[in-house]
A and B are shown apart, each in its own frame.
Chain A
C-alpha cells in the first residue's frame, strides 16, 4: 500500500469547521431524537403493562411495527412520504426550515421510541407487584400510581439498558445523512469529496464517534451510580443495535 498520509487536511481550509459543524448537528439531532424517543417510550412502555387490554394492544402495535422496519426506511418515509400529505402552508414552512432535520428527528424519535418502550416495559415488570398494590391501597388512582410510583422507580432501574439504547441512537443518527442532514458522517464524506483524502476523513469521523460514545457511557455510568436503588436491578433486555 503506497498511500501518503496527509493529516493536515483535517484542519486546513474549511474542513475543521465542517467537522465541528457536523459534530454539533449530530449532537442536536441525537438530543432532540432522544427526547422524543424517551417520551414515546415511557408512555408506550407504561401502556403495555396497564390492566386494560385495548391500550396494551395499541402500544404493542406501535412497538412491533416501528421496531421491525429499518430506520433508513423511516427516514425516507418521514422525509419523502409525509410532506405531500401535509397542508400546503406547513409544507412550505418546513421546506424553508430544514425539513430534513425534522424528518430525521421524527424518524429517530419514533424508531427508538419503540425500542425504549421495551426497556421501560421490562423495567416496570421488574418492580415487585406489591409496590403497585401498596400504591393503590393508599388511595392513589391507577394513573397516579404509574406517575408517582411505578415510572419513577422503573426509570431508576433501567439506566444500564438506557445507556445502551442511547449509544445506539447516537450511532444511528448517522443514517440521517441519506436524507441530507449535515451531521458528522455527511461532513466526513464531504471532506473526502473535496480533498480525496478518504482515510484521514474517515479516521476523524470514526474517532469523533468513539469519543462521543465513550463520553456518554462515562456520563451515564455516573448517573447509574447516583440513581441506583440498592438491591434492585432491571432484569433482561439489553444489547443489540
Chain B
C-alpha cells in the first residue's frame, strides 16, 4: 500500500511546489512509483516546474467529478521517469470544486496503484488545505528561516496534529549557512527548538533552483546544484529514516572559511 504524503507550509512562496517536484522525482529515480498531485485549484504550477505544461488533458477536478473514465486517464507521465506521474490542478475552477471526502476517496484509490502519493498543498489554511490533508498519512512542513514562515508553520503543525496526522516532519528550505553564522538568520536548531518536530532535511538557498525551474527540470537531477544535493538526502531519509540529515554547507572552501573565521573570532573575542 502506498504512502500519502502532503507537502504543506501555511505561508506561500516557501518552496512547496519545488519540494514536491524534487521529492517526487527523487523517489521515482530510486525506482519507486510516484504520483504528485497539484491540489492548488485555480493556481496550477506543478506542471510548469516539471516541464509538463503542454500535456494536460484532464485535471484533478475532472477526476473527482468523474469526467474521465478513471484517474489513469488524467495522469500525465513524466518525460524523464516512466514511474513518475502528475495530476494537474484545474486552472479555471474555485477551491471548493473539490471536497475533502472526494480527496480521501481518490487517495485511497491511488494508494493501491503507487508507492508514493505526494500532495502539493496550496498556501493558507482554508478549503484547499483541508482538501489536501484529508487523505494524507504523513506530512512534510516546508518553512524558511524567517519569522513569518516559522510562525505559519507552527499553526500548520497544530492543524495537522488536530487532524491526527501522525508523522509530521520539517523541511527547512532556503537556508543560508553564512548568514546564520553571522547571527543574522534563525538556525536549524532554533527552528527545531521552536516547532519541536522532527527534521526531515535542510535545503540551502541555491540560484540553480530558479535555473532548474526555468527549464522545467527538477534540481534533484542537477548534480551541480547544492539544493539538488540536499533533496537527494531528503529522499534518502524518506526511504530510510536512519540516514542522517546532511548539513548544507560542505564545500571545501566554506569549510576552510568556517575554520578560519572561527579561529579569528576566538582570537578577536
- Does chain A bind chain B? no
Report B's interface with A, CB cutoff 8 A.
none
Report A's interface with B, CB cutoff 8 A.
none
